[in-house]
Amino acid sequence: MNTNILILLKRFIPLGIFSVLILGCERDLDDLNPVTYPANPEVFIDGFSAGLNYSAFGGSVPTAFDVDNKETYNNSKASMRIEVPDANDPRGAYAGGVYFTEVPRDLSGFNALTFYAKASQSATIDLVGFGNDPGASKYQATVSGLGVTTGWRKYIIPLPDPSKLTAERGMFFYSVGNEDGKGFTFWIDELKYENLGTIAHPQYNMLNGEDQVETSVIGVSKTIGGLTLIYNLPTGINQVVNAAPAYFEFTSSDESIATVDAFGKVSVIGGPGNAEITAQVGGKVVNGSLKIQSMGAFQHAPTPARDPDRVISIFSEAYDNVIVDYYNGYWAPYQTTLSADFEVNGDRILHYTDFNFVGTQISPPYVNATSMTHLHLDIYIPNTLSANAQFRVELADNAGGGTGLFTTTIPVAQSQQWISLNIPLTGFTGLSSRTALWQIIFVDVSGNISSFYADNIYFYDGSPPTAPATAAPTPTHAAADVIAVYSDAYSVIPGTNLNPGWGQATVVSGILIQENNTLKYSGLNYQGIELGSSQNVSGMEYLHLDFWTANSTALNIYLISPGPVETGYSLTVPTSGWTSIDIPLSSFTPVNLNDVIQIKFDGNGDIYLDNIYFRKN
Amino acid sequence: MKTINKLREIRIRYIFLLFLIAFIGCERDDFQKLDQRNWQLVWSDEFNDPAGVLPDASKWTFDIGTGQSGWGNQELQYYTNNPANVSTDGEGNLVITAIRSGNSFTSARIKTQGLFARKYGRFEARLKTPYGPGLWPAFWMLGENIETNPWPQCGEIDIMELRGQEPHIIHGTIHGPGYSGGNPVTKSYALINSRFDIDYHIYAVEWDENKIDFFVDDYLYHRIKRSDVPGEWVYDQPFFIILNVAVGGNYVGFPTSQTPFPQKMIIDYVRVYTEQ
């Protein structure tokens, strides 16, 4: 028997060795693969897998995480224990940290991160995920609001497009806050990456799967959100995973209208025209899209030019604005108005959509608009009105002044252009005082304004000024060419009497405006100036004068030579700011220009005068 | 001399076995020891109509409405003959779709009652199941004499049923007098790392006067012999075929707000064979 077996063996062993020699063990250089990282799926089983670091997030309790040898899943040696702090715990506001490796791992062969978890009470794990390195965290993915119970349950976080995860360092991270002010403890075990055949039907979304349409203008940017992966879990329900933009390839259908970058930031650069932004993940079409309807270059509202000292501004780039609580109160349940404010080249614009009514609320101490005369508002309706629209503005006073209403009709022809409204505050019916204005409310009365832009919302004092705000312009003529009667810029004729008693009703005063001496005639009927000595102005060409009046309807200036011989010259009143005039001396014939002794004014109103002088050249 | 020859014989046999094991290997089928069959196709529907067409009226009729008490099971759906609930998809499939609108559901239940029934043979369908809590698809048969011998006396053979919250498990069952409703003769078949809604699988019974065999993808997971039945064997008459997707009810429980809708059962074909 034994010899027979030996013979059998003798026959087969050489055969075996021979075949090994033939089939060979040569390594072909073409078979060498490029270096890949280890595909180790384990994060925490009975302990951490080698090379794993932990770092607590800033503001969290640094010692929240520890290893637990008692509360483990399925009697394993150890689990991860995380203690979430109570509110107001001085050590930190929440529990959060990241587990990351030194050497990157190749996770492309897996499709889910899984773990078992339980807690000391029913609670919500606010955020878990992977891909936080901590560094660029390019492929981060998160799940929000996982419900944990007091019994061990398995949790599955599907991976978006694992083909991109060939070099991942961020294995797992968490961020958990207290429940109604109270902290709690939870445990995690068997944390690992798996390739599950029991999750199915992956769908990727941008904008949460919605097809959105947005009207926009050149210079506006918007980042696409709602980037998710939805996977069906083994229990038949869906799990939503929030995915970083790096998983998505965004495309614009017309890059001359709008471009989109790798982070999903859409920039409108052209128009009018349309561009549709879509996306793919690993070649698969993503649900959802953004259609940009660009109107082209943005037409800004007219820049306000009012004196800032006479303005109380609520919303404008031209003025300092008062502090507001909000420009849209989202007043539930009846308000439908949403906000889509945007900024074009530094000019911020309020944009209300789905408009029915909306309110701006000013913060204490509110606006005392007693000395203001008007509310200014620029509005722009981007869609053509179907019919004339009724637009109402309401002002509410917080100190018993009630609420005032003002309604205006916007004709169809004023669609798609800036409309400047200057509403007299007395026009707000029902507003009995305005010492503490706190709400400005817009209402779509006719129901056909679906959206509009608003800018330059401010109160202003539009009453006419009664005195110049600025001094008369400083003269520039050479002193040698001038004989000055009244001016800070020249030496004047000595001994001139600016207020001789000629029985006039006029009240004369000298005032300072911006440090400049200015002559004021209040209630002019007539008024004289007696020159300190007779002047020979025959070598001069003009009589120069700067004058300012808001309420005069007649004003004449006379030169007088002995006799008396006087000739007047009519001045245009009232003025808009300072008027500077050079009157040719030939206008005063037959006054003897060799012997001018007086200047006289007559007319009415309140007159401001400066820089009265004869000049040549 | 005789002894040496005998040893040689043994040696040759062993070498032969060695070769067999080395080259033929260990396939799972080898352990099922199934009898060889010679099947001949007697009835089928390949569902090759263009998209949006109702199932062939010469082969299928509809159960409409909610039946009695949700078809006897507290099911929630209202069955229709609306193409939105049942129609071909133009790619060789019939699609039965369960649709939710608000808190009510529609779906479809089609049957060959009055048009086709057969005693014994192989009954198979290749299909993909729907999924989600509260979804209850089924491919099953009822005895032809149900009008005169009400259920469970007529007999019921459930070739495939699935509970949507366990999309990786199907069940093969028979109901008869004394073993029906809550205590039928049933067995489950589960996929270890997959689900039945991801891909087509072939569900079949092979049935003769002595037994009913249940298959998934030609793997026999349940054999019910005539002598195994804990009551009367009522399977010696023709049975007709039913396909449906139910929503909710005593067998599966209720759909939740997290159940994704609409849900589809996608059927490539139904084929019936007789033994030659």
Taking the C-alpha atoms of residue B182 and residue B180, their distance in angstroms, rounded to an integer, is 6
Chain B interface, best mutation among A6, A8, A198, by max B CB count within 10 A? A198
CA B48 to chain centre: 21
Q: Measured between alpha carbons, how far is residue A266 from residues A218, A219, A351, A517 in Å?
A: 11, 10, 18, 59
**Is 80 exceeded by the pLDDT of residue A552?**
yes
* E-assigned strand segments in chain B: 39-45, 61-63, 77-79, 86-88, 94-101, 104-107, 109-111, 121-128, 135-143, 156-162, 169-175, 185-190, 201-207, 211-216, 219-225, 239-247, 263-275
Q: Given strand A555-561, what is the order of strands in its sheet?
A: A526-535, A596-603, A555-561, A565-571
Q: What are the tens digits of pLDDT across the range A78-99?
A: 999 999 999 999 999 999 999 9
| Shortest alpha-carbon distance between residue A354 and chain B (Å) | 26
> B160 near B138, Cβ under 8 Å?
yes
> Confidence band (pLDDT; 50, 70, 90) for B276?
confident
In this predicted structure, what is the pLDDT of residue A248?
Answer: 97
The secondary structure of chain B in percent helix, strand, coil, rounded to multiples of 5, reads: 15, 40, 45
Q: Which of A190, A187, A191 is nearest to A81 (CA)?
A: A187
What does the pLDDT average to over A543-549?
A: 96
Taking the C-alpha atoms of residue B228 and residue B207, their distance in angstroms, rounded to an integer, is 14
In this predicted structure, what is the pLDDT of residue A345?
Answer: 79
**Is 60 exceeded by the pLDDT of residue B29?**
no
In this predicted structure, what is the pLDDT of residue B12?
Answer: 60
Q: Is B209 a catalytic site residue?
A: no
**Is 90 exceeded by the pLDDT of residue A136?**
no
Chain A interface, best mutation among B198, B200, B247, B254, by max A CB count within 10 A? B198
Quote the Cα angle for A447-A453-A455, to 5°: 130
In this predicted structure, what is the pLDDT of residue A59?
Answer: 92
**What rounded mean pLDDT belongs to chain B?**
90
The end-to-end CA distance of chain B, in Å, is: 53
In this predicted structure, what is the pLDDT of residue B28?
Answer: 45
In this predicted structure, what is the pLDDT of residue A395?
Answer: 97
Query: B-chain residues within 8 Å CB-CB of A200?
Result: 131, 167, 195, 197-198
Q: Measured between alpha carbons, how far is residue A473 from residues A35, A467, A468, A611 in Å?
A: 80, 15, 12, 9
**Is 90 exceeded by the pLDDT of residue B221?**
yes
Q: Do B11 and A238 touch (CB under 8 A)?
A: no
Q: Which of A199, A90, A257, A375 is nearest to B195 (CA)?
A: A199
Taking the C-alpha atoms of residue A212 and residue A245, their distance in angstroms, rounded to an integer, is 18
> Confidence band (pLDDT; 50, 70, 90) for B192?
very high
Q: What are the tens digits of pLDDT across the range B141-167?
A: 999 999 999 999 999 999 999 999 999
Q: Do B260 and A232 touch (CB under 8 A)?
A: yes
Chain A interface, best mutation among B131, B254, B261, by max A CB count within 10 A? B131
Partner-chain residue, chosen from B15, B132, B191, that has the shortest CB–CB distance to A236: B132
Among A4-13, A416-425, A539-548, B53-62, where is mean pLDDT lowest?
A4-13
Q: Do A236 and B259 touch (CB under 8 A)?
A: yes
Taking the C-alpha atoms of residue B161 and residue B170, their distance in angstroms, rounded to an integer, is 6
Q: Which of A325, A440, A292, A334 is nearest to A379 (CA)?
A: A440
Partner-chain residue, chosen from A4, A197, A238, that has the shortest CB–CB distance to B193: A197
Q: What are the tens digits of pLDDT across the range A312-326?
A: 999 999 999 999 999
Q: Do A236 and B191 touch (CB under 8 A)?
A: no
Pairs from B211-216 (Cβ < 8 Å, separation ≥ 24): B212/B157, B212/B174, B214/B159, B214/B172, B214/B187, B214/B189, B215/B124, B216/B160, B216/B170, B216/B189
Q: Do A198 and B164 touch (CB under 8 A)?
A: no
A200 touches chain B (CB under 8 A): yes
Q: Do A236 and B165 touch (CB under 8 A)?
A: yes
Q: Do B193 and A238 touch (CB under 8 A)?
A: no
| Shortest alpha-carbon distance between residue A122 and chain B (Å) | 20
Q: Which of A381, A339, A380 is nearest to A360 (CA)?
A: A339
Q: Do A198 and B195 touch (CB under 8 A)?
A: yes
> A86 near A135, Cβ under 8 Å?
no
In this predicted structure, what is the pLDDT of residue A31?
Answer: 64
Q: What are the tens digits of pLDDT across the range B86-129?
A: 999 999 999 999 999 988 999 999 999 999 999 999 999 999 99
**Is 60 exceeded by the pLDDT of residue B21?**
no
Q: What are the tens digits of pLDDT across the range A262-273?
A: 999 999 999 899
Instruction: Assign residue A496 a region (left: φ > 0; alpha: ψ between -120 and 50; beta: otherwise).
Output: beta
**Is 50 exceeded by the pLDDT of residue A473?**
yes
Quote the Cα angle for A223-A226-A228, to 5°: 130
> Confidence band (pLDDT; 50, 70, 90) for B234?
very high
Q: What are the tens digits of pLDDT across the range A39-55?
A: 889 999 888 888 899 99
A11: nearest CA partner in chain B: B15
What does the pLDDT average to over B214-232?
A: 95
pLDDT cut 90: percent of chain B above it: 81
φ/ψ of B243, rounded to 5, equals -130, 130
What does the pLDDT average to over A411-420?
A: 94
Q: Is B156 a catalytic site residue?
A: yes
3-state secondary structure at position B2: helix
**Is 60 exceeded by the pLDDT of residue B3?**
no
In this predicted structure, what is the pLDDT of residue A469?
Answer: 83
A198 touches chain B (CB under 8 A): yes
In this predicted structure, what is the pLDDT of residue B25?
Answer: 42
Partner-chain residue, chosen from A8, A197, A235, that has the shortest CB–CB distance to B11: A8
Query: So what's the ipTM on this one?
Result: 0.83
**Is 80 exceeded by the pLDDT of residue B36?**
no
